[in-house]
Structure 1
Amino acid sequence: MLSQAHDVGAPSLLDALRTGTALLHVALEKRMPFFSERLDADWYQRLLQAYHGFYAPMEAALYASARIPNGFDAASRVKTPTLLSDLHALGLNDAAIHALPYCTALPRLDTPAACLGTLYVLEGATLGGQVLRREMARRLGIDADNGGAFLDVYGAETGRRWKDFLDYLGNQALDAKARQRAVDAARSTFSCFERWLDSQEVLL
């Protein structure tokens, strides 16, 4: 539950999330194929389809939960529409996209703290997007207009939006149990995402 009092000497929510997810983050990053010499246009499309198969149900569950603490601007941060646009740009029509598999093993979003943990992972994933898009442009000729908009979804606003999100996290008064729920949800989000990408055979 959300608490009005911070525990004296306890790590901040951000510190707890960073520490609690660091190993999972590094492990998943090592398996991403963006910088693999074997990555081609077909693999890239399958990767984006897999991303859509996770983000679409994940964001739907998050925003339907009605448990995200006040102050989060979901309308400007939802990423599924950008993925849809990219898949259309890659040649998929609505019927083909609708027929794609969707992840059903999602993290539990049964508390506001759990929502915060999942949002930390989804927002953190936007960092480094400009590097990824430059690499895909160099390697595959993919840019924001032909299937690469999601890679750098916030563009030049990435740094400011991340800072705004950190400010939002910093304004959440969570007790120790709630902080742990946030960390557990963040870890679960990483694990669910990796298992899903693995099942779609798009990881190294």
Structure 2
Amino acid sequence: MSPASSPPSLIQTLRTETAELHVALEKRLPFFSPELDLDLYRRLMAAYYGFYQPLEQRLHRLTLIPTGLDQSLRIKLPVLRADLAALGLDDGAIEALPTCQALPRIDSRAAALGVSYVLEGATLGGQILRRRVAEQLGLDASSGAAFLDVYGELTGRRWKDFLQYLDDRNLGEARTLEVTRAAKATFTHFEHWLDSQKVLL
């Protein structure tokens, strides 16, 4: 395969390889369930925090974010904390939340890219969830739903920038496999974690 044709294939491969896991998780998330009330939403955001907190820390500590991707613009944790505070949790309660110990393995820049693909895709999907939470629970960015609109009006642009970044990578077959393996592991570990926190349908 020529280098010119391989970058689009990375995006395509990621989409294809993660599609089934993505759909399976989406079906189990309670955002569109009639059961979604303020208590379930609060527990769901606490569970999200329990996954994102150690995962973002690990990405940072390993400094494996691929060069050229400004990760400081893409940190979600402070916004999640602010949401939890708006939903009634004080600092002590947030610090005491359980955090996921079974995380996807991040042992290379390629693996970090696969994890980032899932986190960035979830941010794009948050736009639909934000509207649902506003309708069902009356929450907005100031009352506990900022995480679902973490990039605000920059959401579309940042997703396109991320895809462009993927497009610009000239990864060989082995590296592409690392990226997709990490992306799939992120979906799997996230679903298992949310399941353990009893917030899925």
| CA–CA separation in structure 1 for the residues paired with 2:165 and 2:111 | 15
**Counterpart residue number, 2:142:** 145
TM-score, length-scaled by structure 2: 0.95
Whether the aligned pair in 1 keeps the contact of 2:56 and 2:75 (CA below 8 Å) is: yes
1:126 equivalent in alignment to 2:123: yes
| CA–CA separation in structure 2 for the residues paired with 1:113 and 1:131 | 29
**Counterpart residue number, 2:92:** 95
**Counterpart residue number, 2:188:** 191
1:82 equivalent in alignment to 2:79: yes
**Counterpart residue number, 2:51:** 54
**Counterpart residue number, 2:12:** 15
Q: Which has the higher helix share?
A: 2
| CA–CA separation in structure 1 for the residues paired with 2:70 and 2:197 | 31
Unaligned runs of at least 5 residues, structure 1: none
TM-score, length-scaled by structure 1: 0.94
**Counterpart residue number, 1:116:** 113
Whether the aligned pair in 2 keeps the contact of 1:118 and 1:185 (CA below 8 Å) is: yes
**Counterpart residue number, 1:203:** 200
Instruction: Report the alpha carbon displacement of residue 10 of structure 1 after superposing the two structures with TM.
Output: 8.5
Output the amino acid matched with 1:36. Answer: S
> How many residues are paired up?
200
| CA–CA separation in structure 2 for the residues paired with 1:50 and 1:191 | 15
Instruction: Report the alpha carbon displacement of residue 69 of structure 1 after superposing the two structures with TM.
Output: 1.3
Instruction: Report the alpha carbon displacement of residue 36 of structure 1 after superposing the two structures with TM.
Output: 0.3
**Counterpart residue number, 1:176:** 173
Write the deviation string for residues 158-201 of structure 1: whole angstroms up to 9, x where unpaired. Answer: 11010000111111121100000100000000000000000000
Distance 1:8 1:142, change over 3 A: closer
Q: Percent identity?
A: 58
Unaligned runs of at least 5 residues, structure 2: none
**Counterpart residue number, 1:135:** 132
| CA–CA separation in structure 2 for the residues paired with 1:154 and 1:10 | 26
Q: Aligned-pair RMSD on alpha carbons?
A: 1.5
Greater Cα offset, 166-175 or 5-14: 5-14
Output the amino acid matched with 1:194. Answer: E
